[in-house]
A and B are shown apart, each in its own frame.
Chain A
Amino acid sequence: MAFEDSLSAAQKVSLQQSRRQRLRTRLATFPWWLVLILLLIVGTLLLITNSPTYNEAFVTIRSGMIVTLYITLISYAISLLIGLFTGLGRVSSSILSQNIATFYVELMRGIPMLVLIFFIALVMVPGVVNFLALLGAKLIELGLTTIGNPLAGLSNRSISMSVRAVIALSLTYGAYSAEIFRAGIQSVAKGQMEAARSQGMSHGQAMRNVVLPQAIRNVLPAIGNDFISMLKDSSLVSILAVRDITQIARLYAGHSFRYPEAYTTLSVMYLTMTLLLSMLVKLLERRLRNNG
């Protein structure tokens, strides 16, 4: 106070103004949206703990969590592998690999995911299975029973819908992550590859030891965001009757007619997971930047 008393009136005004200014920028940069989202989550949590119908909805839907998580995780892991190799194909000097990779990426990106899931699960997988069974039968005729028998034994029933869902999600997301990896590889300065080649490394050695480690580091945030998208898009597999949280919520709502309970709880469950994950990705991003 003693300090402020010693100031002239004009100085006091300007001090007040600068304080007001600071407060204003603080208010402007404060994440109000996050408060709103947290309010939504807390509000739903209160409903779940206090209302018996909400509680029932939550307990029921929760049982699909394991399916949602395992479909997301497995599909994500496979899609990263597909994406890495397809991304390498996209930047390859071989015209054949380039075209195969681009064909695959454009095919997947040009068809809605929902349609692709239907197509892969109900047309592609049965088609491949029938072909393999036929091949098995031919092999048995040729006397190659060791390979022929297991193939001929394949039937469409032996491939469950959740496996088909994983195949469908992996293939679609593989194309998306291929583009991320391609961009990552192209973001590494050309001189890095040249330096490695000038030391006598083969193209593959240079890629593995010099270019890819840097490329992957550059795209880690994007890859993390892909995981969040995958978690959300895994809800699409409910159309194959795979019992993930979305499917269970649909079933619950269908026979209990408690639509608000089912879909509010379901939405907030996704929201909570994606919010936590995106915070994790931001943290990762900041750490990478600081170490860069």
Chain B
Amino acid sequence: MANLTDEKLVEVKSINKWFGDLQALDDVSLDVQSGKVMVIIGPSGSGKSTLLRCINYLETPTNGQVWFNGERLTSDQRELNRHRAEIGMVFQSFNLYAHLTILENITLALKVVKKIKQKDAESIAIEQLKKVGIADKADKLPSQISGGQQQRAAIARALAMRPKLMLFDEPTSALDPEMIKEVLDVMMMLAKEGITMIIVTHEMGFARAAADEVIFMDNGRIVEKNTPDGLFNQPTSDRTKLFLSQILHK
């Protein structure tokens, strides 16, 4: 058996995604090894989020294959639920369960999906909240805490499931500027712990520091794929150069 860290945790094999007449993804392939951090950048509407959402089948690819943990994802709901329990997802708009406290937000899926007992679920939740630094907010409702705290709670909720993979869909785009850092700090900590992550973001500083690999997407295609150093310092495609010059020299 091959070394575990060399194994491909995620394999996307030439997927296409059409929304009606609009092609959101055009023959996209990528793979992510266990323990690696992949950052996807690109202009809005380039298909980054769609690609991310195809990886846990929140969007079903029109064709092509997605493999996770050595198994091919299909529309079989039971199988899909099993895989999704191992794929944490963090959304741009947090999507914390609005009627539940922060603690209950984390314990819900532990109880419902993983059948963990209330007491054990609570101790897992507290542990994760401590990790992201908001254990004191456990009894608050999402609407009672700041955006940055909500996003950290959402990360804790995903981590509590002990996922093999974490997906981040523009996790800081809906945040006030002064709250971006607290969320990026948590993500950086996770990257250092060796959690496999795929991150769609506009935070180039974070991408440079945290990523093992950076992908640049445009018009539903992967234009360029490289190490952060390579992509940011010696971009090969003109499209990448233009995008980087626009985003970095504002």
Contacts and interface: CB of A to CB of B under 8 A. Distances in A.
Interface of A: 189, 191-192, 194-203, 205, 209-210, 213-214, 217, 292
Contacts of B93: 191
B58 A198 contact: yes
A189 B75 CA distance: 24
A197 B89 CA distance: 10
Contacts of A201: 81, 109, 112-113
B113 A198 contact: no
Contacts of A191: 91, 93, 95
Interface in B126-154: 143, 154
Contacts, number: 64
Interface in B54-102: 56, 58, 77, 81-89, 91, 93, 95-99
A197 B58 contact: yes
Q: Can you list the 3 inter-chain pairs with the closest CB atoms, starting with the nearest?
A: A200-B85, A191-B95, A195-B95
Given A194-B91, A195-B154, A200-B84, 11 more contacts: A189-B98, A198-B56, A198-B58, A199-B85, A199-B157, A199-B158, A200-B81, A205-B113, A209-B108, A210-B108, A217-B99
B33 to A, nearest CB: 22
B172 to A, nearest CB: 16
A205 B111 CA distance: 11
Measured as residues with beta carbon below 8 angstroms from the partner, the interface class of chain B is 20 to 34
Interface string B107-126: 01100110000000000000
Contacts of A214: 98-99
B161 interface: yes
B95 A200 contact: no
Contacts of B99: 210, 213-214, 217
Contact of B109 (A189, A192, A194, A199): A199
A201 to B, nearest CB: 6
Contacts of B86: 200
